[in-house]
Structure 1
């Protein structure tokens, strides 16, 4: 026995030593790719020395003698910190993920090849103006200079992920940056998803009930729509979706998780500072690292500072000394799904107004790791690319003998959007910025502006011109061969909504409806917000004048207008009406929950129990209201629509009928359903978060999930690469923390403001900004999550253009010298 014990001890010790050795070796190789922010490097591609000063938050301040040299250094710095992220963005838009990940990502690659965004980006290089072409070329050279340093300087393959998913990195090209902007447009788009869901729902419910469950913004009119089955015949009454589990790398966001944002500005008459103010916080999916990268650029037109996206040589949201700009998703109706009839005698043809016509087609070969390559036939109609049945759930609404195509403004090979963004970054006045944005195509944005004297907002991006006789007004898929369903070009830029120097002195957008114009001059029927705007309006009008701090306070506001509006309706006949109940009974728990909510002010604070009770009740309530009518389709309604709930409880146009369960004999009232939903919620809370309601914390359920898209599900590694934080806010608060909406943890915070900035033009260097994680994409770097805790607590870092301040607390200074020979020092 002693001998056995001795050998087991030796074996265990050996295994432990081996494990420690392997971990140490892995750490050594991974740490080799940590960049050194100090030193002098000799590089080819610049004309004079360039200085990259990293301030104490690891924000690069880039000083150079020419703009091209500065953009070179930006490419160098972004590649140092975010090479893996940049590589993944490029591979995604190219449809080349399967070369690294195998069959897992084949569907993603097939979709991206069909959309053909990368080819369109290559064609769009020639559409850029001369300064942008030069900037793209210089930026690409900077990225490639860092790749050369990796290859010659033993830099550990550039990123720790490269040791796991080893694949060659091609040199960066100008088209790669344009392609990433098109990928961003895809991630922010939701109109096609909405069209398909509206069609699927219309097959189940009447037009009157469709207006309840998919309501228009109540501040505007409702367009009369034909029933989808009457519009496009021979579709199944109900078809389940054809999607499998969603891969974290899938580029099309689920419904409710597309682009969002807040931005507002105050003119001199509404500012206590003597100049203008601007606040901006664009919302995207939370990831580790965040998609945002802070940078300051010294340009001939004036220094700029703000948020960039790795791969793009432009400050998308930021400021110069004279102008600040913020962006919010404009929710322009820039996509249409078309039902294309195929020739029953020739599968290579589709129907047009002039008869049968051949699809434009070409083959595309997808290389797959550890599997045979796949040859994909790409097809296009006059309306756009033909898409597979599992994209947007198109298979559920496509009649037999038909395929679907997509019209989308981003599907152009003559796209100068990046040039427009670069020109906006160089503008000094509102007038110049609005003029510079005219060529911009996609993704459509509301551009909020503040110069030293005025404020403005302009919708930028292409808005399709539709025929007044369009069958569905662009709200449902329609036959592509009918001329009235096809786009008639693009509306003039002058017709895009514009608000300059408003009388009230304040402009802003929370993805709410900006204009109410009749079809076909409308902007959209589908808007991203009907709730946050009410709280924003209240906060803006509650003060005669604003300061930087009041703008920060609004940006971080967690009071839910929705909770304050809906709870009195949901609990109208429940408060103070129950009989006394013993401890531990469902009735007593209900009373405790109602007492807590009755004294709650609607603040979605992470430390309070009420937000969790409210959110669980609201979620259970919508599910009870719709599941009997919609069946399995109800699972597609992952987020509660407050307008629907209000319509039901106020019985708008007979909407209270949703409270009656169709399959039961009794006629249920809305009070019955509300009480049952509250009991459902309390049971769910008890099973998942405990029985003591008073000790619940919203932040335990509403954790921000900054997950690594590729390593975030890998055992052990996920502990190092994922960042989880207890957070306040919710779906309908200004400090928006959009919840997941599905699965065992439906209240995880997955979509929020990855960037926040507040700019004060009375004292521009007192402006502040922050991102959701940190500057580095290297999970062993101390700058991987150094900004994340500030972001969680609602704190910021200085946003100064003063070079002395950057140098005073610099953590490193890198000098790039022009290479004078073929050798590096």
Structure 2
């Protein structure tokens, strides 16, 4: 049967696809993704299945080894076989479009640099790419961090090693603040894990968040809901998201697509419903310490004796180097992420992302057919590949938040550290039923806000998470929304652009209390004492604040001895590893607020601040924040071909904000102050008046270096401005500057 579609593009190169039916529209979806983002899709596929080192050499080896040990390819093939016939047909049509584009169109420049050609796209690759895009996000890193740190500072300090929130948190469900403290596992409850962690190896052994919200019609000028937000990821170019419009006889939908995957997993609106996600930080990963028999390294201890692990051999080809062969070992808990063959212990990962069978892609078409928020929530039941707080709104005027995740039932103590796998006391007891997962429809306030903050209060119902981001952004968004009576799209854009930092106000005030004799350091103090906490790109005070806080964090890492935790086996067992100073950046505010000096090796906070001020004051000039913080875009091949770096990753315009702001352009304190993660896209959906919606991405619609649309949205994005997002047929026709017809005849479809 013939598959044909029309592709229109606007001045930004954004594709708008029209086709008669779902087969044709998803064929065109694949074609356009390959046309705009083929190399990016191919790289994601290779990363997923552990074949990236074939392209980039040893730089990609650690991640490839982890992907092979996790069995991502095997899990993705398994999941594909369990998808519905309708979903598999969608993926097959998408793959045909990708492969036709490969054959018909010039290859992106990256293939020329590598001297490679793409291999045919198979339908199950979409499952692998979707898994790769969220693989190991969340709790695994906090557990590894605490395990590494506990061997440096002792178990009594384990309660300090979490992102702080000053004792007051805001929750996704209910949408309220609370001053109740987070639950902290006692040493008695953690004793088995602590014993196992400390005993696993000798003490000297070495080896990205988002905002979204919805406002009901009661608070808008139009009387219709507004939905807005921005996903935060590393500034890897090409971006994870591409703008797309798909229109056929069954649905009409516009949003941010994920190259390599059809439809719209995360951000979209149809004729009836708009939806968007943030990472929920549900605890979907557990780490089990396994004891292996030194005499038979594939036998491991259980509460009922020993069991034999499964093992397979994996060979990884490395560009410019020797092949590397590893043994992938699997216990009853999951894949072992350490090299168990060389020791008498191992760490096995049990993760919802690998076990059980994942049918997340079965949600994609049903989501597009939903007519209201409650139906939409129901259609998300099978989703489990990554956990989300999903905000939605519909043309009936309803708004909703739904925690879209599959979360295991087990004890809260599992959330803190790797647990012993040989006792039988830390096992999963099934999964929390969909009916018990948090969701809320039409709250009395008429507002819903999520920003990676805690899902529900600790102790309320099922155990869902231990670690999450501070409530700073969520509280600021709600504060801004609460001050608007008759909101419109421009008001939502202004909230997205907010660069006020409550955390900066607090820390700068504490810094300004310190007495110094050095004139240059005093100038810094004077600057911070007069500052309002706005991370404005044109101001110097934000630069001074960041640099001093960064230096304070580094001093904390050195004095506590936690800088050495970077070399601990726990910190380095999963690529890319845990960086202590980046973790401590989020721990420092609460220690400072409570004047807790227990990690300072006898120093006071005044002494730490004074040392940091003198270090920063040694620089004669401090650049304005926009220049100091100018984003750095990272292309995966820039380090492999440094002479091509500026072509592959062009410079950005300056930005404001930081990781504590709504406009969360963040930097890792282990590096410099340049922004390396933040909003990779922004959107405002005007529910019902869809042509009034707006969107932007951080570079452009194209993922092809040298294209006119590779970086043409950056100037808008840097100023937090948005491009039109036409939706109706008339509006798209009016915006179109080019048209293309594509077709293929598919036999035996």
TM over 0.5: yes
Q: Which residue of 1 aligns with 2:632?
A: 705
Structure 2 distance, partners of 1:53, 1:367, is 41
**What's the offset of the Cα at 1:200?**
2.0
Count matched residues. 715
2:502 maps to what in 1?
561
Alignment partner of 1:209 is 2:154: no
1:489 to partner: Cα distance:
1.6
- Long gaps (5+) in structure 1: 1-45, 243-257, 390-394, 579-585, 663-667
Counterpart in the other structure of 2:423: 482
Shift of 1:539: 1.0
Q: CA deviation at 1:546?
A: 2.4
**177, 184, 200: which one pairs with 1:223?**
184
Q: Distance in 2 between matches of 1:608 and 1:483?
A: 57
Q: What is aligned with 1:407?
A: 350
**2:683 corresponds to 1:740:** no
> How far apart in 1 are the matches of 2:318 and 2:513?
59
Deviation at 1:236, TM superposition (A): 5.3
Q: Does 1:160 align with 2:109?
A: yes
CA distance in 2 between partners of 1:463 and 1:267 (Å): 29
Q: Between 264-273 and 360-369, report the one with greater CA deviation.
A: 360-369
Separation (CA, whole Å) in 1 of partners of 2:335 and 2:598? 41
Moved more, 136-145 or 523-532: 523-532
**What is the distance in 1 between the residues matched to 2:744 and 2:553?**
63
**Could you say if the C-alpha distance between residues 215 and 443 of structure 1 is closer, same or farther in structure 2, counting changes exceeding 3 Å?**
closer
CA distance in 2, matches of 1:428, 1:365: 48
Matched, 1:62 2:17: yes
Q: How does 1:667-682 map to 2 (within 5 A)?
A: 668-682=603-617
Which of 377, 382, 396 is residue 434 of structure 1 equivalent to? 377
Instruction: Give the secondary structure class of the aligned counterpart of 2:44.
Output: helix
Q: Does 1:190 align with 2:121?
A: no
Which residue is 1:346 aligned to? 296
Pair 1:707–1:126, CA change in 2 (3 A): same
Instruction: Tell whether 2:698 aligns with 1:772.
Output: yes
Q: In structure 1, what is the equivalent of residue 539 of structure 2?
A: 608
Measure the CA separation in 2 of the matches of 1:766 and 1:698: 33
C-alpha deviation, 1:402, in angstroms: 0.7
Whether 1:459 aligns to 2:409 is no
1:720 matched to 2:720? The reply is no
| 1:808 paired to 2:734 | yes
What is the DSSP-based 3-state SS (H/G/I as helix, E as strand, rest coil) of the residue aligned with 2:685?
strand
Q: Is the 8 A contact 1:766 1:798 kept in 2?
A: yes
Q: CA deviation at 1:318?
A: 1.7
Q: 1:557 to 1:356 in 2, by over 3 A?
A: same
Residue in 2 that maps onto 1:665: none
1:410 touches 1:442 (CA, 8 Å); kept in 2? yes
Aligned pair 1:637/2:565, yes or no? no
**Max radius of gyration: which structure?**
1
**In 2 relative to 1, CA 638–240 (structure 1 residues): closer, same or farther, beyond 3 Å?**
farther
Q: Once the 2 structures are TM-superposed, how far is the Cα of residue 180 of structure 1 from its aligned partner? A: 0.6
Mapped to 2, the partners of 1:775 and 1:106 lie a distance apart of 30
1:398-449 residue CA offsets vs partner (Å, 9 max, x unmatched):
9951111101101036211011133223322101110000111121111110
User: CA separation of 1:804/1:457 partners in 2, compared to 1, >3 Å: closer, same or farther?
Assistant: same
Per the alignment, residue 41 of structure 1 pairs with none
Structure 2 CA distance for partners of 1:545 and 1:566, relative to 1, 3 Å = farther
Q: 2:290–2:301: 8 Å Cα contact kept in structure 1?
A: yes
Question: SS of 1:143's equivalent?
Answer: helix
TM-score (norm 2): 0.91
Contact 2:352 2:406 in 1 (8 A): yes
Following superposition, the deviation at residue 106 of structure 1 comes to 2.8
Distance between the aligned counterparts of 1:621 and 1:376, measured in 2?
41
| Pair 638,290 (structure 1): closer, same or farther in 2 beyond 3 Å | same
The answer to whether the aligner puts 1:311 opposite 2:239 as a matched pair is no
Matched ranges for 1:86-485 at <5 A? 86-150=41-105, 155=106, 158-186=107-135, 189-214=137-162, 217=165, 218=167, 219=169, 220-225=181-186, 226=190, 229-235=194-200, 238-239=203-204, 242=207, 258=208, 260-315=209-264, 316-388=266-338, 401-412=344-355, 414-452=357-395, 453-466=397-410, 468=411, 472-485=413-426
Q: Is the 8 A contact 1:446 1:460 kept in 2?
A: yes
Contact preservation (8 Å) 1:318, 1:757: no
Give the Cα separation in 2 of the matches to 1:571 and 1:495: 48
Aligned with 1:760 (options 686, 692, 717): 686
Distance 2:151 2:128 in 1: 37
Report the CA distance between 1:714 and its aligned residue: 2.7
* More off after superposition, 597-606 vs 607-616: 597-606
Checking the alignment, whether the CA contact within 8 Å between 1:516 and 1:522 is kept in structure 2 is: no
CA deviation after TM superposition for structure 1 residue 61, in Å? 0.7
- Going from structure 1 to structure 2, the CA distance change for 1:282 and 1:811 (only over 3 Å counts) comes to same
Change (3 A) 1:105 1:231: closer
Query: CA 1:203–1:712 in structure 2 vs 1: closer, same or farther (change >3 Å)?
Result: closer
Cα distance in structure 2, aligned partners of 1:539 and 1:49 = 47
Q: Secondary structure at the match of 2:414?
A: coil
Checking the alignment, whether the CA contact within 8 Å between 2:409 and 2:463 is kept in structure 1 is no
Please give the alpha-carbon distance, in whole angstroms, between the structure 1 residues aligned to 2:649 and 2:144: 34
Q: Matched residue of 1:711: which SS?
A: coil
Q: What secondary structure is seen at the aligned counterpart in 1 of 2:30?
A: helix
Maintained 8 Å contact 1:600/1:610 = yes
1:181 Cα shift?
0.8
Aligned in 2, Cα 1:322/1:194: closer, same or farther, shift over 3 Å? same
Q: Provide the TM-score with structure 1 as the length reference.
A: 0.83
Assess if the C-alpha contact under 8 Å between 1:730 and 1:737 holds in 2: yes
Tell me the CA shift for residue 208 of structure 1.
Answer: 4.8
Asked if 1 retains the 8 angstrom alpha-carbon contact of 2:80 and 2:127, the reply is yes
Equivalent residue, structure 1, for 2:482: 541
Tell me the SS of whatever aligns to 1:703.
coil
Cα pair 2:138 2:282 within 8 Å, conserved: no
Look up the SS of the partner of 2:383 in the other structure: coil
> How far, CA to CA, are the matches of 1:58 and 1:215 in structure 2?
40
Q: Specify whether residues 368 and 567 from structure 1 end up closer, same or farther in structure 2 by C-alpha distance, changes over 3 A only.
A: closer
Residue pair 1:555, 1:735 contacting (<8 A) in 2 also: yes
CA distance in 2, matches of 1:233, 1:699: 45
User: Residues 352 and 558 (structure 1 numbering): CA distance in 2 closer, same or farther, change over 3 Å?
Assistant: same
Distance 1:303 1:215 in 2: 41
How far apart are the structure 2 equivalents of 1:656 and 1:172? Answer: 56
Residues 102 and 599 of structure 1: CA distance in aligned 2, closer, same or farther (over 3 Å): closer
Shift of the alpha carbon at 1:781? 0.9
Residues 541 and 656 of structure 1, relative CA distance in 2, 3 Å threshold: farther
Say whether the 8 Å CA contact 2:271–2:688 is kept in structure 1: no
What is the CA-CA distance between 1:330 and the residue it aligns to? 0.5
Report if aligned partners of 2:313, 2:325 keep a CA contact under 8 Å in 1: yes
**SS in structure 2 at match of 1:749:** coil
C-alpha deviation, 1:749, in angstroms = 0.8
Which residue pairs with 2:572 in the alignment? none
User: CA 1:302–1:197 in 2, change beyond 3 Å: closer, same or farther?
Assistant: same
Contact 1:774 1:786 in 2 (8 A): yes
* In structure 2, C-alpha distance between the alignment counterparts of 1:757 and 1:215, rounded to whole Å: 28
Question: Superposed, which structure 2 residues align to 1:515-594 within 5 Å?
Answer: 515-518=456-459, 521-574=462-515, 587-594=518-525
Partner of 2:173: none
1:392 — aligned with what? Answer: none
- Distance in 1 (CA, whole Å) between partners of 2:198 and 2:638 is 45
Q: Distance in 1 between matches of 2:565 and 2:538?
A: 31
Superposed CA offset, 1:715-744 (max 9, x none)? 33112111222211111110101203223x
